[in-house]
Amino acid sequence: MRRLVRYLPICIIIIAFLGLATVYSAIIPLGEGPDEPGHAAYVFFLAREGRLPIQSAEVGTSDVKGEGHQPPLAYAIAMPFVLWLPQEERQFDFPGNVRFTWAGGDELNAVAHGSREYWPWRGEVLAWHMVRWVSVALGTITVLCTYLAARALEIRLVALRELSSTAVTNVRSRFSVVALLAAVLVAFNPQFIFTSALVTNDGLLITLSAVLLWLIVRETWPESRNQVMAYTALIGVVLGLAMLTKQSALLLVPVVLLSVWVRTRGIQWAIVSAAVMVLVAGWWYLRNWQLYGDPFGFSVFRAEFATQSFEPARIEAWIGALDQLHDSSWARFGWMNVFPPAWVIWLFTIVQFWALLGLARRLVQVQPMVDMVNRFVSADTALWPPQRLGFRIWWPLLALPILAFAWMVSFALTAGLVAWQGRLFFPALPAIAIILACGLAVFKDEGNWWSMPNLGLLYILPVGMSLLALWLPFGVIRPAYPLYTLPEKVALERLGTPTYGRFGKPGELGAELRGWRLDGEIQPGAKVELTLMWHALARQNRDWTVFVHLVDDQERIVAENNRPPLDGVFPMTQWVAGDWIEDSHPLLLPEDLPPGSYMLRVGLYDQNTGRRTGQFDKDGDLQGDSLQIGQFVVN
């Protein structure tokens, strides 16, 4: 029972993270995360073609646009969740938004979102969401391994300080405040939840980084030669899997191999880990070298990918980059273009400042020089290394953020400002969370569990962060993406007067006009509004403009409205099969409209050429270039 109570807090944190990440994965529109369409395309390509993609330096000819040079492990793990689809459905058609720009644009959505994204999900949309659930599961493992790594560090430090098995046993049997705080800082970080809700290879890399951190800092390592061989080989396997996930896993290699050397006191065991890593992942980088001329495929990546360059010689560039990195490490969503209210970032900045203040407080304790040299600094109230031997334990936590930052700088010099994203820094997130948790734990009050410091650390901080993380998808993310289509059921309920006309060129499915409503009466000087219900049968080959004409019995136009559907905010080239669009067109009738019979006609034309498209009936027979939807009599 005591053991169950001891593990109850971390179980609650993990369950809460699972719930939050599931909510994020359901609410974030498909494709609205950095490079998610490319990552999803990679998964669908593997499931459809059964082979690895090839990236091309020639724009538009790659098997997977922008991502084909990436190692395949994350996508291969997700592939089974697409295999249930029929072979011909293992692909998706998500039109890009040509007005979208990565930074500084007014259009936040990078892809078009149609009727198929409404619940209940079906086909490729359901498969995409199922692949997102893989990332949710990986995020859960990251939270757990962060907790285990922090717990192991605490036990090792107590063993160093106390030199007593009883002290270690006591630590094992009680709550670890630092480990729980580290888990909280990962599990309730909105940016980490956001990343864990997308189709991406970042999630697997972060998870493998957390697993490696736990493996290298564990309190006990095997002692016999055979056991050490097996353990170091296991570390090499995990490191190789990380290298098969993303090239940035390279930053983990020196930390892991040096840790193996230090822990085993034998360089041969580090060589074992390195050799196994090469056996697991080396084939991929050799393949890249043969295909592209370099092991990382940077040449083809740069040929297809361009962004605003980073200018390291300008101090303003560094300030902007670091500000973007900081904000996107906590709460900056979409393609780095959906911002939370400023107070959200300030709250997380206060938590950071609080943690750094605690670290500084431990570092600058005023003690006699003799004590600094001959005694360990007390660690009763925080997990912080003794001045003499602690660094041997703590250095991996410090090295990971430094190497992650160095990798980001090198990537920024290659790819530009787009490199400064928190998710790219997240392989070091477990280490950073543990360091910040150590600073926060300095303020823990050992004597009174219900004191204000303890209430803030153990209750207000976790609950506050979790509630904020729960609010963000509803209060910030979802409102950023207006929906321009309707679910089929809603569209049919709002159809109005049924009609039928299919518009498109011969041989094309085009789009159907299925119903219409007229608000107001046809009479002199009136302003009426015609609402059309369109249903897309396929992708549209151009951005057609709708014309609405009120004509008299002499075929003269007495009132008209010519504009793209929805005034152009959702152009027809972004429509895909199954979309339902409700489209309104106001008509201002002339004051001197004479009595007589009038007909209301609707059609599509190309605004660039003025040419109209054909209108077909249900049997596919051409009926002209417009559809008469109603006839009215003015007395």
583 has which bridge partners? 532
Is the backbone peptide bond immediately before 120 cis, with ω within 30 degrees of 0? yes
* 76 phi-psi bin (left φ>0, alpha ψ -120 to 50, beta other): alpha
- Is the predicted pLDDT of residue 111 greater than 70, yes or no? yes
pLDDT tens figures, 520-539: 988 998 999 999 999 999 98
Among residues 76, 83, 200, 224, the alpha carbon closest in space to that of 138 is found at 200
**Strand 596-605 relative to strand 545-552: parallel, antiparallel, unpaired?**
antiparallel
DSSP type of residue 405: H
Residues 545, 511: Cα–Cα separation, whole Å: 13
pLDDT tens for residues 214-271? 999 998 888 889 999 999 999 999 999 999 999 999 999 999 999 999 889 889 999 9
pLDDT at 301 over 90: no
pLDDT at position 435: 94
Q: How far is C-alpha 510 from the chain's CA centre?
A: 33
CA-closest candidate to residue 360, choices 284, 436, 287, 417: 436
Residues of the chain with CATH 2.70.50: 488-634
User: What integer pLDDT is reported at residue 155 of this predicted model?
Assistant: 80
Give the chain's mean pLDDT. Answer: 87
* Percent of the chain's residues with pLDDT above 90: 63
Q: Is the pLDDT of residue 373 over 90?
A: no
Distance CA 536, CA 17 (A): 39
Q: pLDDT tier at 4 (50, 70, 90 boundaries)?
A: low
Q: Does residue 372 have a pLDDT over 50?
A: no
Locate tokens 């529109």: which residue? 29
* Measured distance CA(615)–CA(601) in Å, rounded: 12
Is residue 95 very low, low, confident or very high in pLDDT (cuts 50, 70, 90)? confident
Give the residue carrying structure tokens 């939840």.
193
pTM summary value: 0.90
DSSP letter string over 423-459? HHHGGGHHHHHHHHHHHHHTT--SS-TTSHHHHIIII
Q: How confident is the model at residue 5 (pLDDT cuts 50, 70, 90)?
A: low
Q: How far is CA 4 from CA 12, 206, 218, 219, in A?
A: 12, 28, 22, 22
**CATH number listed for the domain at residues 488-634:** 2.70.50
